[in-house]
Chains A and B, each alone.
Chain A
Amino acid sequence: MFRNTYDSDNTVFSPQGRLHQVEYALEAVKQGSAAVGLRSKTHAILLALKRSTGELASYQQKMFRIDDHVGIAIAGLTSDARVLSNFMRQQAMGERMIFNRPMPVNRLVSSIADKAQVNTQEYGRRPYGVGFLVIGQDQTGPHLFEFSPSGNSYEYYAMSIGARSQSAKTYLEKHYESFADCNLEDLIRHGLHALRETLQQDKELNVNNTSVGIIGPMGQHEKPISPPGSFRILEGDKVEVYLQSMEKKEEAPAPVPAPASVPDAAPAPGSDEDVQMSG
């Protein structure tokens, strides 16, 4: 599959009608560590797996606050992510200043999609090498969007991007119909299970490598923030209680686990009911 002659210039189509530079940019997103997004009627959440270069290094930040009502998780080139998230922040702040209301989420996502598209059509510019999962809340409720460097954006009930994200997608496809009525804790549990699917054999989710972003009313384990329902990122010890609420990892993930498979560790204070994975 030799594509070499058509893939160094952004402005050259291949005979099959493809822009290879854009496709290579999508590869960069697939190289980043996984991020998962899902939503219910009341909340939209993001979960991200943070990577570190080694035991001595810190973990790469995967989530950014854009405004009170919008947050993002990134996969791909972090430097490109910073630039685009800065742009999103400017857009959101500008809308608030000019129109005296928070920016509608779909409009915000379209603004970076349009910005990214320019880099797929201008000679000499390379596409952005980062993809986003954007969660937000506006008058039409909670939302989840995917943004990709091709300039496409699309709304989802649940989505995942980054390395081995297909495994997470499979989990999400299996369970997404139950998300709408989930409470926040169950939604996070689903998200963590989906994220866990993307891990390599001997790895596990822990307080250092897991990041949770939430939009929507305060959960059981949270303290009040202002304004209520704002985007917040849970990291470190704050994630512990949700990690504890996960099902013990089995060889083949069961669709409906029996109560007997509750983890050996003492259940966290919040999870006092049987894990409901479907229905």
Chain B
Amino acid sequence: MIMPDMDSLAHPQERRFNPYTENGGTILAIAGADFSVIAGDTRQSEGYSIQTRYAPKVFRLTDRAVLAVNGFAADGNMFVKKVKQRLEWYHHAHAKDMPLRAIARLIQTMLYARRFFPYYVYNILGGIEEDGTGAVYSFDPVGSYEREACRAAGAAQSLVQPFLDNQIYFKNQEAAQGTSHPSHLPLETVLSIVIDSFTSATERHIEVGDGLEIFIALSKGRTLQGMESIRGLQELTVTEDGERLFVMRRDLKKD
């Protein structure tokens, strides 16, 4: 005979529909001098179950802007659609694409408009600014945002961000005597850091794995030097003048 649960008789119960759920996954973006890298794993989960091994979380907005969304997948997917619609209205009105910092501000206003029933999404916007520099903007669910050199968000944020702080900002490490830390890292190094971040996160976090999708945005006129060795690189832009956008996919462990 099991004792009845006396505790639950002590207070009234209320059942309500929970409009949000957590779908796991992790996203990451790193800005270089003339490029920007935006990555996300492709696993979508709920609790201990995997909903799908391939659900993209990183989306091309324009030839120079990429948005990664993480948190509640339904809100993330819908938010991306709405951002794309706003960008299309801008294009109709101005016959050109929206500059990156304007997209960042737009995202803030779109998120804050839902201050009292927010999009449960952590956004990271990456791409090329009007002045040709690589940029990363990160947001909270209600629109607080900031431009940074790098940011990780999602389930494995606590594993990845400290690694980035050490490898990108060189925190808690001293340069060798007589040298100083480089102010900007080359693309090959950044890609290695991204891939290592995800493989490590996959090892230790159950919600991360299956696949990795990496978008690379290049500034106008930047050569493809250093990218020849990357296998499976697919170009999304159609012309060679102007900013260029590439995507690459890698497998991650499926357990």
Q: Say yes or no for B144: interface residue by CB 8 A criterion.
A: no
A93 to B81, CA, bound (A): 10
* Chain A 140-171: CB-based contact to B (< 8 A → 1; otherwise 0): 00000000000000000000000000000000
Among the listed stretches A111-119, A130-138, A223-231, A239-247, which one makes contact with chain B, having 4 or more residues with CB under 8 Å of it?
Answer: A223-231
Given that A65-B92, A89-B92 are known contacts, is A97 also in contact with B85, CB under 8 Å in the complex?
yes
Partner among B63, B81, B85, B239 whose Cβ is within 8 Å of the Cβ of A223: B239
Residues on B with C-beta less than 8 A from A225 are 238
A215-243: which residues lie under 8 A (CB-CB) from chain B?
A: 223-226, 228
Tally B residues with Cβ within 8 Å of A: 9
B interface residue numbers (CB < 8 A to A): 63, 81, 85, 88-89, 92, 237-239
Chain B's closest residue to A218 (CB) is: B238
A93 to B88, CA, bound (A): 9
Residues from 53 to 86 in A contacting B, C-beta threshold 8 Å = 64-65
CB distance from A279 to the nearest CB of B (A): 35
Q: Is the CB of B92 within 8 A of A226?
A: no
The 3 A-B pairs at the shortest CB distance, nearest first, are namely A224-B238, A226-B238, A93-B85
Q: Are A224 and B239 in contact (CB under 8 A)?
A: yes
A93 CA to B90 CA, complexed, in Å: 13
Question: What chain A residues lie within 8 Å of B238 (beta carbons)?
Answer: 224-226, 228
Q: List 7 A-B contacts (CB under 8 A).
A: A64-B92, A93-B85, A93-B88, A97-B85, A223-B239, A225-B238, A226-B237
Q: Report B204 CB to chain A, min CB distance, Å.
A: 37
Question: In the complex, what distance in Å separates the CA atom of A20 from the CA atom of B212?
Answer: 65
- Shortest distance in angstroms between A62's beta carbon and chain B's nearest beta carbon? 14
Q: Which residues of B contact A223 (CB under 8 A)?
A: 239
Q: Which residue of B lies closest to A97 (CB)?
A: B81
Q: Which residues of chain B come closer than 8 Å to A89, judged between CB atoms?
A: 89, 92
Query: What's the Cα separation between A228 and B238 when bound, in Å?
Result: 9
**A223–B88 alpha-carbon span in the complex (Å):** 21
Which residues A8-28 have CB closer than 8 A to chain B? none
Contact residues in B for A64 (Cβ distance below 8 Å): 92
CA A224 to CA B240, docked complex, whole Å: 10
A68's closest neighbor in chain B, by CB?
A: B88
Cα-based distance from A121 to B18 in the complex (angstroms): 48
Instruction: Tell me how far the C-beta of B63 lies from the nearest C-beta in chain A, rounded to whole angstroms.
Output: 8
A97 to B92, CA, bound (A): 17
Chain A nearest Cβ from B137, distance in angstroms: 24
Distance (whole angstroms) from the CB of B96 to the closest CB of chain A: 12
Complex Cα gap A107–B63 (Å): 30
**Smallest CB separation, B215 vs chain A (Å):** 15
Q: How far is the CB of A64 from chain B (nearest CB, A)?
A: 8
Residues of A within 8 Å of B63, CB to CB, are: 226
Most buried by A among B81, B88, B237: B88
CA–CA, A226 to B92, complex, Å?
A: 16
A63, chain B: closest CB distance, angstroms: 11
A6 to chain B minimum Cβ distance, whole angstroms, is 40
Q: How far is the CA of A89 from the CA of B85 in the complex (A)?
A: 10
In the assembled complex, how far is the CB of residue A236 from the closest CB belonging to chain B, in whole angstroms? 13
